[in-house]
Structure 1
Amino acid sequence: MIKIVFPEPDFKVIKEGDKTLIFDRLRKRYVILTPEEWVRQNFLQYLFKIKNYPPALTAVEREIYLGELKKRFDIVLYNREMTPWMLIECKEMNVPLSQQTLEQVVRYNMVIPAKYLVITNGTNTFCCTYNHATHQWNFLEELPDYE
């Protein structure tokens, strides 16, 4: 498991009726602040401010198709050649990370073949790579530096 210490938050949050909205800097719009969105926004800030990953090479909540099923990934970071480099699945804090969570990101990886797969619920974070030669998953002790 990887220890994540989130940076001090500097989010723009507003109330609209009975809903709380948070400004997503990548999507350039306010989105409903759900527990999962809280994890996603804090994790993005960690990636940009602490790990120095490039926001310009990051995609958030885009549609993908798994066969005929329409799904949405949480976060994809691309390398400088615009090839998927890291695929991140976020869950809300009270959702334990499980084999099922890992299988979800592995299914998304069939469509978005990224080098690194990450699952996080804001409290627990795991990052792994797949070794095609040994057919084994290798779990890392920290998130890699951006290549």
Structure 2
Amino acid sequence: SIHQRQRTIYKVTSSIVRFQRDFLDKGISCLKPLVLRDVAEDIQMHESTVSRVTTNKYVHTPQGLLELKFFFNSAIQCLDGDSVSSESVKLHLKNIIKSENSARPYSDQEIADMLKKYNINVARRTVAKYREALGILPSRKRRNPYELPLV
């Protein structure tokens, strides 16, 4: 039974690697949307088996030590019909906020509009949800009153 468990873990991990090859080679911006069902169908096992196998299991990758559950994430539809992972959207959001003028930080709506330049169509509420998940304050609390705004 231990050998069966090892084979199952190997199958699941191999499937994840096939789906997420670009992420492993290039980084978080290339993380693809992936759900348990995709891997389950690929290896012809039940979703609940894939879920159990990936719980509390870690894999050493070129991107660091990651929990197998990390690779499963939701999809955000792009304007061109393609899709990106929610983690990739969070990375864009973090970079936009990092580059903002602290005297006039961007509102959630402005960030949503800026994401459209990356072909990512999200609502203001989604930006707020991701910003909060990343532990980033709202614009009014990010404002630095001691810096003069560039007009």
TM-score range, shorter chain: under 0.3
Larger radius of gyration: 2
Q: TM-score, normalised by structure 2?
A: 0.24
Higher strand share: 1
Q: TM-score, normalised by structure 1?
A: 0.25
Higher helix share: 2
